Homo-oligomer: A and B are copies of this chain.
Amino acid sequence: MTLDRQPGFSRLAPQTGTHVRLEPGDVLTIVDPSGVQVSDLYCVAADDVAETLSSGRSIDFENTIRFTTGGRLWSNRSRPMLTIVEDTCGTHDFLLTPCSQQTFDILYPDLGGAPHPSCFANLVGALSPHGVGPDQVGTTLNIFMNVWADGDGELHIGPPPSRAGDRFSVRAEMDLHVGITACSAEKSNGGVCKPIDWSVTRAGGA
């Protein structure tokens, strides 16, 4: 069952994405209205889109691979881009790139190479009007995604632990173009791709 969309929220249809413009202090909230659904997030500085989200710098400066409330997401120029201000789930991934056509081709050969919607294509579609090309869309913060490494370093992907209504909010630390998705990979989302709701609370209160 999918919860009704709350006032002030927009809904991303399954396997789609969108662009969000944030100014410093604005808070973007991502809600999983159904449970067991991932939302990928990527961002670039609005005043120079060559400044992009960096998983490596974020992991380095925050000294963790588990990002939750209080954690910051850093750019390739070592500046904070976003601060996590709310997280009712606690499980997210910052190791993997967004699912792409090649993800399906290489990792799911049973799909026979058929065209498949992807977070990568959706993020490129959302961000390319703002000057961000596909080569720049790197490792995303994969909100609610359930990835862990075992003792041998092998990765495992389980169903997202998010329950219907779980929320994840980030505050902008600079002017940003943000791309967000309702993830397109059935196998990462409990077998069925579902919607994602989102809302922005403007710093100015408007």
Contact = CB atoms under 8 A, between A and B. Distances in A.
25 contacts: A51-B135, A54-B97, A54-B138, A55-B139, A56-B95, A56-B139, A56-B140, A59-B95, A59-B155, A60-B96, A61-B107, A64-B149, A64-B152, A64-B154, A65-B95, A65-B155, A66-B152, A66-B153, A76-B135, A76-B138, A77-B135, A78-B100, A78-B102, A138-B138, A139-B139
Among A107, A135, A152, chain B packs the most CB atoms within 10 A around the CB of: A135
Contacts of A96: 56, 59-60
Given A55-B55, A56-B55, A56-B97, A63 B155 contact: yes
Given A55-B139, A61-B107, A78-B102, 16 more contacts: A50-B135, A51-B135, A56-B96, A56-B139, A56-B140, A59-B96, A60-B97, A60-B107, A64-B149, A64-B152, A64-B154, A65-B149, A65-B155, A66-B153, A76-B135, A78-B103
A116 interface: no
A34 interface: no
A163 interface: no
Per DSSP, chain A at the interface is loop
A103 B65 CA distance: 17
A106 interface: yes
Classify chain A: how many residues form its interface, as a range: 35 or more
Nearest to A68: B153
Most buried by B among A50, A55, A97, A106: A97
Nearest to A77: B135
